[in-house]
Amino acid sequence: GEDVEQSLFLSVREGDSSVINCTYTDSSSTYLYWYKQEPGAGLQLLTYIFSNMDMKQDQRLTVLLNKKDKHLSLRIADTQTGDSAIYFCAENSGTYKYIFGTGTRLKVLA
């Protein structure tokens, strides 16, 4: 079945860039998403990328997609303490289901 993997932890200093990586197995993925989850809260959509795109930039967020390697990354520029959260990538292959990654816990050090 489909599988989405992420590294579990990332720690960066405030002001540095963060790069969160995600790999997936479903080659028919049409949309790939990045969600942010703060403690005790639901998921907030940060950004998404369509599978025929290589890159998408949205303010401090840059998404890179390598479809050949099935690799997705989220870069957060000028990371702030408020960016500390769990980040989930998710893929959707045009069905009703989203497949979520394991989540990456980002800790931003002041």
Partner 1 sequence: GAVVSQHPSWVICKSGTSVKIECRSLDFQATTMFWYRQFPKQSLMLMATSNEGSKATYEQGVEKDKFLINHASLTLSTLTVTSAHPEDSSFYICSARDLARGMNTEAFFGQGTRLTVV
Sites for partner 1 among residues 55-94 (CB under 8 A): 88, 92, 94
Which window, 13-21, 40-48, 55-63, 67-75, contacts partner 1 (CB under 8 A)? 40-48
Q: How far is the CB of 82 from partner 1 (least distance, A)?
A: 18
State yes or no: residue 40 binds partner 1 (CB under 8 A). yes
SS (H, E, C) the chain: CCCEEECCEEEEECCCCEEEEEEECCCCCCEEEEEEECCCCCEEEEEEEECCCCEEEECCEEEEEECCCCEEEEEECCCCHHHCEEEEEEEECCCCCCEECCCEEEEEEC
Residues forming contacts to partner 1 in the complex (CB under 8 A) are 30-31, 35, 40-45, 48, 88, 92, 94-98, 100-103, 105
